[in-house]
Chains A and B, each alone.
Chain A
């Protein structure tokens, strides 16, 4: 039955080559922990992606309750914590996941660095990786403000002051970040939009590039 449905679609749309491109390839022995335990370092990229996926999912559920305005933001987070079924857990996933992404991504970067996998022909993928790194840091910076508690408010206040102290362009960066001259209503809506629309879009594009390049170039050979 399933096979029939698949064949029906495949006849019309020729989807088989699509997924074969993605999935039909060999995994070399030197990256397979089942062959050699020490190859677990090659899992870090995949695990980073797994955590990114849970971040996207938990973030989508948080967005069902979160309210990005300065009067209600804190109360909406409190509501998620105290009233929403499993809200505490979903918020916990998103909170701890944010740190875990950073840790796994850093480990992945170290693996790529120490195995020299950034060397020709993979230079561009390294550059894409560094860009991903900064996008993820930006996720952290903007997400930190959203609960609108004291910690959030003052971290952002100081962060923007530091940005503002940069010579020449500092004040412009600060205005761009805050939407005004202090952390306030415009800052919160801005950080929210950046956190849930701009950055995910950038991240997904970069990750697509990252994965396409890995498939096109294959993973680097054994040392």
Chain B
């Protein structure tokens, strides 16, 4: 075969100016160049996302710490969630039956949907089944994520804080914007409470309280601080006067974590 010959029988070498169907274009170089532009934009967006969302590394694996609440990566959550609906002896439905049937249906789709028509509207059964499956998968994934978050919150509430306390997530102090820092309560907080609760109320020995005002009003704050939570937090948080407690409660009630 001569150099430049054609291997695909009946398909002559493509020439742009010999177009038969308007709208078609050569894969190389026309289409590929455009595709590369799309690819470059896509990659750029990806890199930007990666840059601003650094991955963190959790604490080193500790086989003895059985209190850790396990969770698979998000794209397995829907499978994980299915298991929860078949507790005890029915677990095989979740571990084997449902996944197996779903896999077989997916694998043999071309032999189940054998009509010649391809338009999605003209084969409502196949289209409907796939739309339903997609929604179900998304719903199950979300359900699992919500339940996992609730479990983690409940566990951290029991583990470190006494019942009835608000449990705010720990976030870096740099992301906290305390408001109304001109109120007298702020100075009292800085002098008496920040040692335990952190300069930006981000938490330390005591829990984070940077957005406590979202959950507790001034009265609730006042009564909690007055009582304290001995032995962890002294009554009045170590303050001596009733009016200081009132001022700090007034200020904390403003912190709604905007």
Contact = CB atoms under 8 A, between A and B. Distances in A.
A50 B50 contact: no
A162 B43 contact: no
A47 B5 CA distance: 31
Size category of the A interface is: 35 or more
Contact of B23 (A35, A102, A133, A220): A35
Nearest to A70: B61
Interface residues of B, number: 75
Nearest to A136: B75
Nearest to B60: A74
Contact of B70 (A24, A155, A165): A155
A216 to B, nearest CB: 9
A89 to B, nearest CB: 6
A21 to B, nearest CB: 5
Q: In the complex, which of the residues B8, B91, B134 has the most CB atoms of chain A within 10 Å of its own CB atom? A: B8
A116 B117 contact: yes
A165 B91 contact: yes
Q: For the complex, would chain A's binding face be called helix, strand, loop or mixed by DSSP majority?
A: helix
Given A27-B27, A148-B61, A89 B51 contact: yes
Contacts of A154: 68-70
Nearest to B91: A165
Contact of A54 (B35, B43, B54, B127): B43
Interface of A: 10-11, 14, 16-17, 20-21, 23-29, 32-35, 43, 46-47, 50-51, 54, 70, 74, 77-78, 81, 88-89, 91-93, 95-100, 102, 110, 113-120, 122-123, 126-127, 130, 133, 137, 140-141, 144, 147-155, 157-159, 162-163, 165-167, 182-184, 220, 223
Given A16-B4, A127-B110, 4 more contacts: A23-B32, A50-B39, A50-B42, A147-B57
Interface of B: 1, 3-8, 11, 13-14, 21-28, 30-32, 34-35, 38-39, 42-43, 46-47, 49-51, 53-55, 57-63, 65, 68-76, 83, 91-92, 95-96, 103, 106-107, 109-111, 113-114, 116-120, 123, 126-127, 130, 134
